[in-house]
Amino acid sequence: MTTGPTRLADVSDVPETGSYLFTVREADGGREEVILVRLADGVAAWKNFCQHETDQRLDRGSGAAMRDGEILCPKHGSMFDARTGYCDDGKAAGATLVEVEVTVEEGVVSLTDERCEFLHEGGIEEDDGMPGTSSHLSF
């Protein structure tokens, strides 16, 4: 879908703890939220849902909860490695977050994943079909 890199943000726009949320259109026309998380040497991008329950967003609009280089699911506490997306504990143990390809060049993060197209910064509005959440936990 993407014909070339699409500028998303400066690396400095991605919080050191938390996430930067944006929305993409996938090849099938559906929309999906994606989070950028800061790594010691760059950024990683993951689709914004827990592998245990795909209707559970990791970033609900105020940044994903993170601890010691891991992204936490706010419902069950599963912890995903921010670099690899792999979960080794909790209800999502053995699962890996869905990666979205990005690059960093001269301090600018760009979407390079040919399977999706950047739509806008921020998440999908709940009245646009994004499932709500049944949890009110925050970290």
CATH number at residue 114: 2.102.10.10
| Total domains, the chain | 1
Task: Determine which helix (DSSP H) or strand (DSSP E) holds 90, and give its type and residue range.
Answer: none
The answer to whether the CB of 121 falls within 8 A of the CB of 109 is no
Place of tokens 């944006």: 22
pLDDT of 118: 96
Q: Is residue 41 part of a domain?
A: yes
Q: Give the phi and the psi of residue 132 in degrees, each rounded to 5.
A: -75, -170
Q: Is residue 134 part of a domain?
A: no
pLDDT of 56: 87
Q: Is residue 132 part of a domain?
A: no
Q: Is residue 52 part of a domain?
A: yes
Task: Give the mean pLDDT per block of 10 residues along the chain (139 residues).
Answer: 82 94 95 96 95 86 93 91 94 94 96 95 68 41
Q: Is residue 16 part of a domain?
A: yes
Q: Is residue 70 part of a domain?
A: yes
- Supply angle C-alpha 82, 86, 88, rounded to 5: 115
Amino acid symbol at 114: E
Q: Is residue 131 part of a domain?
A: no
Q: Is residue 135 part of a domain?
A: no
Domain hosting residue 31, numbered range: 6-124
pTM: 0.86
Return the DSSP state at 95.
-
User: What are the Cα distances from residue 58, in Å, to 98, 107, 112?
Assistant: 12, 25, 22
